[in-house]
Amino acid sequence: MSDIDGGFRRQLPSMIGMASMFLVTIFLAIFIRPWYDKAGLQAFGAEGASQLRFIALELVMIFIFTAAILALARYKKEWVIKYGIMGILFIALMYASVPLAHQIMVDDTVTPFEYESTDFIEAEYLAEIGMNQYIDSIRTNENGIINNTIRLNQLGMAEPIWTSVIPHGNESYELAKLVVATGPETITINNGALIQTLSLSDGTLLSTYECFEYDNDGNIFPRVQFGCILAVETSDSVYIIDGGEKLHRFATFEEVPNVMTFQAAWQLPSEMKVIDDLIEAELLDDTHLLIVSKEMAGVVELEKSVNVPPQVGSTAPPATVLINATSSANFSAVDVGYSNVADKKMSEASTDDQLIVLGTEGGDIIAWNYQPAEEILVVDEGKVSINNFADQIRDVRLTDIDASGYTELLVTTEDEARLLYGSSMVQRLIIDVPEGENVAVAFGDTPKDTVDDTTHLHTVVIGDNYSMTAGVIESSMFLSGGIVFEDIPTLIGLLVSIILMILLYVHSEWYVVNTVGILVGSGVIVMLGVSFVPTLIMVFMVAAAIYDAWAVYKSKHMLDLADTMINLNLPILLVAPQDSDYSFRAERTPLGDEEPSSDGPDSVSIQSSSQPRERVIKKSNDAMLMGLGDVIFPGMLVLSTLQYIGGDDGLIMAMATLFGSLVGYSVLMWYVGQGKAQAGLPLLNGGAILGYILGGFMTIGMAMFQFNISL
């Protein structure tokens, strides 16, 4: 036992040194991540980040690479291996050196946004219209006559586009809220007594229908049992949803205005509540109504007649509901507009290029393409759907900030608005937003904006009345988007990579090997970490750990691979000497001839002077070797967590993942210190995954696994 303890103490400096390089590599990857994030450099695009087939592709490429190296070594083609690996290392170095130079040398700070004005409006905010318009209402009671002044407003304009005065009904409904359903050309307003439809073009009152009817004796009766809660008018019908989630169709007649006749009724899902829980209702076309309540969102088919008998226990057959999406976190926002990922200008788009975007109180973004001309009316849009985008989403808006004709997605989280630009959805703008449970955020131009070539951000905080804050958006406030190459940082990164490759070729001492290893490792970590969501990274890690154990303990071909790399002066690893006069260049231990205590590129080994050497070392100076795979895999999970969880929760989970990998490293060192052979990835990856799971339970719960994984 004393010999083991003494050996462990002698190896302790190497263990601490290796742990330090482990941390430096991962923190360096974290440091250069913003460059990759701003450039949108996911290896397989934003959509590919949650697709399992690309992880399978990565594993296949690892197998092919390993097999190719071993085959070339067997057929004495060392020069092909040497110069091929040199080229790969040079490219990998560039993935770290160029971003690192930019992060150090380029000042990419942005001008902070400031609100210039705040206005308080004594009116009821009703609904958004398009990208930069909204409807509000002012209620008046003059001598018992109650009216609503409906106004269509343009953001940035002092005067409304049009004003329309409509009756509110008798005094018993004075406090009743107005519930609206917008449409392509009209808006239907209902207060429980009157259903009124206005033209969006000029505010003309097109029709008025009563929610009550009278018998021959003058007695009043409700048209629907549980009251008119939500109503929408189509070309030949009025559809009313009552408090029991029942949809009623009343036929209307052009020759008899303001008269409607009951036709049929359908039962909506119980989760589609419209009393108090309604987020928004929008008539997509004459036969489809989008209803978003807190618990459920769906496109309801507006049928004309009942074709199936009612279900048992129900007086109405079930309504046809497309999408039929539910959220345990509650829906909080919705917008419908031209798709921001269609790569098509609005002027060239058709009705099939519409997008329905929803946000939840849990921070998810969910999107569907609405394509009425296709056989399948509604399909998921994975490019826009993002799980755990933020802690909370208060508003979503499809907009066109630069008048390019292409739409962008503006998402308002718990404390800021983020502009996701173009089809790549690169984050280009981040602005603080005032507090408030219900907000609407959009861009709008004032007359001065048109002259100055600027635009305004308008934030509406909605309550009984509403307030509007506004400020100028300038080009200096935008984050850099796409790949940014500044001349001097790019040149410096290129020179550093060239110099390191020359040194690795002519003077592959341990400090050169470590410098190359740390840079290559950090570049690969961030490149793959931002390319896959954490769930897929963990699948990758489990598969790699199983392969690592098999390659070390069973087939032992990983040891042959390590021998080949080291003998060609191409060590893809980190070296932690036990003594300051250690020389890696003089070290030539064929790992395959030893008892398996490492797996070369993917594990840890302690080289002992008592083991056979290819040539004599000047002194009995040993070192610890760790393959870059042992750093890269845990590091990928750390980076992926920061990328796809984000915020404070993401930071906590990332640090828990890193701590878990260090615990796995400590267990690995304990085995190595006792002279027991161990493959590195099972313990390191296992510790990192456990750390991620524990961190997830402390923060976001089971949402840590929910990333819309697909094949």
Cα Rg for the chain, rounded, in angstroms?
Answer: 32
CA distance 484 to 26: 23
Give yes or no for a contact between 58 and 537, defined as CB atoms under 8 angstroms apart: no
User: Tell me, what's the pLDDT at 259?
Assistant: 92
The band of 484, judged by pLDDT with boundaries at 50, 70 and 90, is: low
Query: Cα 233–234–239 angle (5° rounding)?
Result: 50
Report which of residues 23 and 581 the model is more confident about.
23
- Of 135-139, 140-144, 574-578, give the lowest mean pLDDT range: 574-578
Most confidently predicted of 7-11, 340-344, 686-690? 686-690
CA distance 25 to 29: 6
- Of 51-55, 137-141, 525-529, 615-619, give the lowest mean pLDDT range: 615-619
Q: Identify which of 704, 667, 674 has the alpha carbon closest to the alpha carbon of residue 689.
A: 704
In this predicted structure, the answer to whether residue 482 has a pLDDT above a threshold of 90 is: no
CA distance 516 to 500: 7
The band of 602, judged by pLDDT with boundaries at 50, 70 and 90, is: very low
Q: Where are the domains of the chain?
A: 2-106+484-703
Give yes or no for a contact between 290 and 334, defined as CB atoms under 8 angstroms apart: yes
Q: Which long-range contacts (CB under 8 A, 24 or more apart) does 301-305 make?
A: 302/234, 302/237, 302/239, 302/249, 303/249, 303/264, 303/266, 304/237, 304/249, 304/263, 304/264, 305/263, 305/264
For residue 344, the tally of other CB atoms under 10 A from its CB is 16
Residue 443 makes CB contacts below 8 A (sequence gap 6+) with 131, 132, 155, 399, 401, 410, 455, 456, 457, 458, 473
CA distance 57 to 568: 28
Q: What is the pLDDT of residues 299-357, one digit of tens each?
A: 999 999 876 554 444 578 999 998 878 888 899 999 999 999 888 888 887 776 789 99
Q: What is the pLDDT of residues 528-552, one digit of tens each?
A: 898 888 999 999 999 989 988 887 7
Q: Identify which of 517, 619, 625 has the alpha carbon closest to the alpha carbon of residue 576.
A: 625
* Number of DSSP helices (H) and strands (E) in the chain, helices first: 12, 33
In three-state secondary structure terms, 70 is helix
Amino acid at 470: A
Q: What tokens appear for 185 in the block?
A: 């050309």
Q: Identify which of 5, 54, 69, 61 has the alpha carbon closest to the alpha carbon of residue 568.
A: 69
- Whole-model pTM: value is 0.68
User: Tell me, what's the pLDDT at 323?
Assistant: 81
User: Tell me, what's the pLDDT at 41?
Assistant: 65
User: Tell me, what's the pLDDT at 416?
Assistant: 92
Task: Give, in order, the Cα–Cα distances in Å from 642 to each of 500, 521, 530, 581, 594.
Answer: 30, 17, 9, 39, 40
Q: What is the pLDDT of residues 671-683, one digit of tens each?
A: 776 665 567 889 9
- What is the per-residue DSSP string for 94-151? HHHHHHHHHHHH-----PPP---EEEEE-SEEEEEETTTEEEEEEEEEETTEEEEEEE
Q: Identify which of 480, 355, 340, 478 has the alpha carbon closest to the alpha carbon of residue 410.
A: 340
Q: Which long-range contacts (CB under 8 A, 24 or more apart) does 454-463 make?
A: 455/401, 456/155, 456/156, 457/113, 457/417, 457/431, 458/132, 458/155, 458/156, 459/115, 459/417, 459/433, 459/434, 460/125, 460/134, 461/434, 461/435, 461/436, 462/125, 462/436, 462/438, 463/436, 463/438
Q: What is the pLDDT of residues 263-273, one digit of tens each?
A: 999 999 999 99
User: Tell me, what's the pLDDT at 265?
Assistant: 94
3-state DSSP helix/strand/coil % of the chain, to nearest 5:
35, 30, 35
